[in-house]
Amino acid sequence: MIKMIFKQLWNQRRQNGWILLELIVIAFFLFTTSAEVVRGSIDYMLPDGYETENAYLIKLKEGSKFRYARREREIRDSIFQSNFNLLLLTIKNRPEVEAVATVRDDSYPGSGSHNSNGFVSDDTASIRIKASLYMTFIKEGTTDLLKVYGLKDARTGEPLQLAEAKLACPQGIVSAAFARQLFGRTDVIGEKVHLGKKLPEGSNANNYFEIVGVYEGYKRSNFQAPSASTFILTPNSYGRNTSNHVITYRLKKGVDGKAFRERIMSEIAPDFENTPTAIKEILSFEESLEWFNSMLGIYIHYRYTAVMLFFVLLCVFLGMTGTFWVRCRARRQEIGLMRSIGASQATITRQFMTEAWMLVTIGFLIAQPLIIHYIHGLEWNVIDLTAHYWQDSKTWLTLATDALIYILMVLIALLGTWFPVKQASKDLPAEALRDE
């Protein structure tokens, strides 16, 4: 049957040539409009790596108007730290709060800033990776960051837990992507990692940390894959720079987050209004992510792409359905002749649908060089922190998008073929031949 269909397609090569040209154009434009949507959708479906529910952050006012009595830096920093510790303990001691952690301004979900660095290890000194660097400040000997963020252990999938941080040396927790890229494995507890480069033996520079935990991943935005990243645990915050002092907290289950936020702003914030630690705003993790996505223009980008893709799909559906409908109706005489020599309706339908599938397949394959040329010249419009996920590979993304649009084109072609052939094959052979 396949051999007969190939001969049939060749005998009608002029008509089929125009159909193939249409299919090539359709395949290419479907790919160009859907590749980034496929990639963004897959990134969005990946786990965030943390829990946003009941998690909030408190930002301090920049450039506080507080006037210091003396200009010495140590005293100014001491005043700031005293006020900050008081604010921190005030929040922590509220009965509604489950956990509190202090982080740097670029270290919470949806933070507008970003810090990255190069890392090497003792075991793999020849390998240097680039990863996102986050900072959390140990206060009162706690590691509450794990509870606030809800980070998961990369090995067990359970909430990550650490021993009490003694900080005999700098410590850090790294993502699974970080561990795999640098060590080729995730069992890296106790390994030492150096920032930038490994310094000579005997150097007093504090440029390394010891890995004390490995978490699954961490997204800065909902629409990007978790990148290689690390949280550094440190007992020291930096002077009185408000951007280095963001309080994050998690409420206990059942607590109304909006009402608690209002209580902080009405009961606690006024006490710190004229201090170096005046509260600027309180945001939930969801609100922070919403702001970050909007700031990146992700919503506008995907909204525009989705609208364009909808119209492309509509045009493709109408165009392909009409093309295959007309093709089948134009061969009504042939269908009548096949019926007159004993061909069943099922046989005729199967032959025409096989022809439609073969036409789509041939046109789709011919379009591949154009698609490959396009994808390798494409620069991603959305910020990309390469995490080495498969969708970040242009080869795998091409295969995934190709599979999607191929299935879509085949379904449309079969739909546009099945109905008119089914109707034509029901006509009496004499009527079909007389109409022609």
- 22, amino acid identity: E
Who contacts 152 (Cβ-Cβ below 8 Å, separation ≥6)?
49, 158, 159, 160, 215, 216
User: If you average pLDDT over residues 49-59, what whole number do you get?
Assistant: 91
pLDDT in tens, 66-86: 554 455 566 677 778 888 888
Mean pLDDT for the chain? 80
User: If you average pLDDT over residues 321-334, what whole number do you get?
Assistant: 75
Q: What CA–CA distance (Å, rounded) separates 177 from 185?
A: 9
Q: pLDDT confidence of 200, banded at 50, 70, 90?
A: low
State residue 143's pLDDT score. 62
Q: What CA–CA distance (Å, rounded) separates 237 from 244?
A: 7
Who contacts 263 (Cβ-Cβ below 8 Å, separation ≥6)?
none
Which region holds residue 190: left if phi is over 0, alpha if psi is between -120 and 50, else beta? left
Model's pTM, two decimal places? 0.74
User: If you average pLDDT over residues 173-200, what whole number do you get?
Assistant: 84
Q: For the chain, what are the domain ranges?
A: 2-47+298-435, 62-277
State whether residue 280 is helix, strand or coil.
Answer: strand
Residue 41 has pLDDT above 90, yes or no: no
* Percent of the chain at pLDDT exceeding 90: 17
- Of 107-111, 307-311, 359-363, minimum mean pLDDT range: 307-311
Q: pLDDT confidence of 214, banded at 50, 70, 90?
A: very high
* Whether the Cβ atoms of residue 387 and residue 355 lie closer than 8 Å to each other: no
State residue 337's pLDDT score. 74
State residue 168's pLDDT score. 60
Residue 10 has pLDDT above 60, yes or no: yes
pLDDT in tens, 215-264: 988 888 887 778 889 998 887 666 667 777 899 999 999 999 999 999 99
Element (H, E) at 129: strand 129-137
User: Exposed, middle or buried, 246 (CB in 10 Å: 0-12/13-18/19+)?
Assistant: buried
- Of 48-57, 79-88, 338-347, minimum mean pLDDT range: 338-347
Element (H, E) at 248: strand 246-251
State whether residue 274 is helix, strand or coil.
Answer: coil
Taking the CA atoms of the chain, what radius of gyration do you get in angstroms? Answer: 31
Residues 140, 146, 152, CA angle at the centre, nearest 5°? 160
State residue 384's pLDDT score. 42
State residue 21's pLDDT score. 87
* Percent of the chain at pLDDT exceeding 70: 81
Which of these, 190, 179, 165, 183, lies nearest to 214 by C-alpha position? Answer: 179
